[in-house]
Amino acid sequence: MTAHMKFFPTGNADTTFIQLANNQVVLMDYAHMRNEKDPYDKRIDLPTAIREAMDEAGQESFRVVAFTHLDKDHISRASEFFWFDHAAVYQGSDRMKIDELWVPAGVITEMALEDDARVIRQEARHRLKLGYGIKVFSRPEALASFLEENHLSIAEREHCIVDAGKLVPGFSKTGPEAAEFFVHSPFAWRTDAGLIDRNQGSIVVQMTLKEGFSESYALLGADIDHESLSQIVRTSRAHGNEDRLHWDVLKLFHHCSYLSLSPDKGEEMTEPVEDVKWLFETLARQHETIISPSWPIPKKGTTEDEDVQPPHRQAAAYYKKIIKDSDGRFLVTMETPSEARPKPIHLKITAQGVSVMLAAAATATSVAASTPTRAGRTG
């Protein structure tokens, strides 16, 4: 079977749907941002789109739902969509069940939460205390303290914890899912730093998808900045894990913000810091695909261009520059196939590489938009 990835037009928000080779589904974040009362809102009806994708995959529950962190643009209205075991009020025949929940340790330890964030935290705590259906990424002292307060220990919940630099258990390139997930973030030392920084303590993974004798790689994360990306690069190189940074598909961090590249935006183009430049240029494979989960890239001199919030055209200019060297693709969720009618971006992963399957602007029919290729820049 062939794996698929879908990226949904949700504005400056993240939802990534991954259908593995055995048709099981991994969902990275869920942010239903559309205003149903606004007939001009072009953001997708996410719950309907997800249900349709699940029906196509023949799945009644998610193999994994990962909440990379608890900001609204990654969890919006999750409490309305998913079945949560910890409270009957979040259960019902119309809700989608989660076999395994992935969260960074900060989700367990953060206090004073409300709405969707609180519901997800309570579900994560419930599963961790009972020792089932959860993977917590990193093991800071605050997590150990939480377990001790509940008469448990890290050792007793070892099977529920995954550290940076490790593979997530339960997945194999040689298994029916033909996939594995290598954890790059969060680092326990960062989570121990005191004040919880959701963005820098969020989940970042490299996903490997195997088809036949070929492998394709995707870097998936949330809203980390250039300093955190640089730390990931330096740590990977120090441990001989450079191969865990290769990518065919890059879901951009923080909605095409210049801060994921550099502290300086630049006038026309953001120049990345050294480690990030190496990651995005040297480790990209030939004909790479870059996905910006964001609003359309603003034009120079417009009101949107003056907005401090991403997307930033200077960052987009850099990504467009690097793909020219390898005949790659830069796709924006709220621009594809058109700003007037954005549709989900659908990637198909085959033994020949990654193909982009784009919904035509006038219809919902998917057509192949590129010829897949396998050759990599780095060999």
Q: Please give the backbone phi and psi of residue 159, each rounded to the nearest 5 degrees, phi first.
A: -70, -10
Q: Looking at residue 188, what is its pLDDT?
A: 57
Q: Looking at residue 221, what is its pLDDT?
A: 84
Are 252 and 290 spatial neighbours (Cβ–Cβ below 8 Å)?
Answer: yes
Tokens 């907005």: give the residue.
Answer: 307
CB-neighbour burial class of residue 303 (10 A; exposed 0-12, middle 13-18, buried 19+): exposed
Q: Looking at residue 88, what is its pLDDT?
A: 98
Q: Looking at residue 343, what is its pLDDT?
A: 97
Q: Looking at residue 101, what is its pLDDT?
A: 98
User: Identity (one letter) of the amino acid at 295?
Assistant: W
User: Identity (one letter) of the amino acid at 309?
Assistant: Q
Tokens 């749907």: give the residue.
Answer: 17
- pTM across the whole model: 0.92
Exposure b/e, 276-296, CB count within 10 A at least 16 = b: bbbbbbebbbbbbbbbbbbbb
Q: Indicate the domain borders of the chain.
A: 3-368
Q: What are the beta bridge partners of residue 209? A: 179, 216
Tokens read off for 346: 């659908």
Q: Looking at residue 361, what is its pLDDT?
A: 45
CATH architecture label of 3-368: 4-Layer Sandwich (3.60)
Q: Looking at residue 196, what is its pLDDT?
A: 54
Q: Looking at residue 139, what is its pLDDT?
A: 87
Tokens 């055995």: give the residue.
Answer: 22
Q: Looking at residue 189, what is its pLDDT?
A: 47
CA pair distance 292, 283, nearest whole angstrom: 18
Which residues, given as ranges, of the chain have pLDDT below 70? 188-199, 358-379
